[in-house]
């Protein structure tokens, strides 16, 4: 593993925004059915999980209403199956001031801001999945829409870079996925619902460039 890879792995899961977290009860199981299904699909395929050092990678979210959404909690990648206590409710974000407001039994994922700007700019999107796969990442980087290599994950800069891709490329209305050049292995896909987002990821493996 080279220096860049090692640095990237060590930072995985580290929250870089100000998290205004209101600790509260677990989210109702009725609201978690499809996100729990999607998360289990991605974990089974090894696209969400944990590295050998125990640091988790990947996350998943689903819109509830307008900009409010459920997301897997911080440092939950390594759990074989998530319980209702492993999800957080995101109320709102402020990209300019690098702040996220969330509630529930756990803090929201370190990639929350990246998910949020997709929901803000794409009212047709209701599910976002962030996976890790080195082989797939290498096959699509700079072939598919790709964030700039200088932009680290979980930052306002990444949020703005995603907005740029949504406005300047065909990612929103055609591909539905993009690679993160500054976040090795990182790929984000989204869709009109959870099944649509997961299908886009599965199709990527079948039709990898």
Q: Map 81-145 to HEC letters.
A: CCCHHHEEEEEEEECCCCEEEEEECCCECCCHHHHHHHHHHCCCCCEEEEEECHHHHHHHCCCCC
Residues 6+ apart with CB under 8 A from 71: 59, 60, 61, 87, 88, 90, 102, 108, 109, 112, 115
Kindly tell me if the per-residue pLDDT of 116 is higher than 80.
yes
User: The whole model's pTM is what?
Assistant: 0.91
Residue 206 has a pLDDT of 84
Q: What's the pLDDT at 51?
A: 94
Residue 13: pLDDT band by 50, 70, 90 thresholds? low
Over residues 176-195, mean pLDDT: 97
Per-domain boundaries in the chain: 3-206
* pLDDT recorded at residue 1: 25
The per-residue pLDDT for range 14-42, each reduced to its tens digit, is 678 889 999 999 999 999 999 999 999 99
- Residue 73 pLDDT greater than 50, yes or no: yes
Question: What's residue 11's pLDDT?
Answer: 47
Rounded to an integer, the average pLDDT of 185-199 is 98
Q: Is 70 exceeded by the pLDDT of residue 10?
A: no
Closest CA to 169 of 149, 193, 143: 143
- What is the three-class DSSP state of 40? helix
What is the per-residue pLDDT for 70?
98
What is the rounded distance in angstroms from the CA atom of residue 209 to the CA atom of residue 207?
Answer: 6
User: What's residue 8's pLDDT?
Assistant: 43
On the question of pLDDT at 146 being above 80, the answer is yes
Q: For residue 122, what pLDDT is reported? A: 97
Mean pLDDT of 2-25: 62
CA distance 72 to 202: 20
Which one has a higher pLDDT value, 95 or 9? 95
Write out the H or E segment, with its range, that includes residue 194. Answer: helix 194-206
Please name the fold of domain 3-206.
L-fuculose-1-phosphate Aldolase (3.40.225)
Helix 112-121 with 156-168: angle, nearest 10 deg: 30
Is pLDDT of 137 > 80? Answer: yes
pLDDT at res. 208: 56
Q: Report, as an integer, the average pLDDT of 81-96.
A: 96
Query: What values do phi and psi take at 97, rounded to 5?
Result: -100, 10
CA–CA gap between residue 8 and residue 208 (Å, rounded): 24
Are 76 and 56 contacting, i.e. CB atoms less than 8 angstroms apart? yes
Own/partner contacts of 203-207, CB < 8 Å, gap of 24 or more, are 204/136, 204/140, 204/177, 205/136
């Amino acid at each position: 593993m080279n220096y860049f890879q090692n640095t990237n792995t060590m930072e995985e899961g580290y929250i870089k925004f100000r998290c205004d977290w209101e600790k509260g009860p677990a989210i109702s199981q009725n609201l978690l059915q499809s996100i729990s299904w999607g998360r289990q699909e991605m974990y089974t395929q090894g696209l969400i999980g944990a590295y050998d050092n125990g640091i988790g990678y990947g996350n998943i979210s689903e819109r509830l209403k307008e900009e409010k959404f459920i997301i897997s909690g911080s440092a939950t990648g390594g759990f074989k199956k998530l319980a209702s206590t492993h999800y957080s409710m995101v109320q709102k974000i402020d990209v300019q001031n690098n702040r996220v407001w969330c509630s529930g039994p756990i803090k929201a994922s370190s990639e929350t801001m990246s998910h949020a700007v997709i929901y803000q700019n794409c009212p047709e999107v209701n599910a976002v999945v962030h996976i890790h796969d080195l082989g797939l990442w290498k096959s699509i980087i700079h072939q598919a829409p790709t964030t700039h290599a200088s932009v680290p994950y979980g930052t306002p800069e990444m949020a703005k870079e995603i907005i740029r891709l949504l406005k300047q490329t065909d990612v929103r209305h055609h591909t539905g996925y993009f690679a993160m050049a500054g976040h090795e292995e990182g790929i984000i896909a989204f869709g009109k619902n959870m099944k649509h987002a997961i299908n886009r990821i599965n199709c990527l493996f079948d039709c990898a460039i």
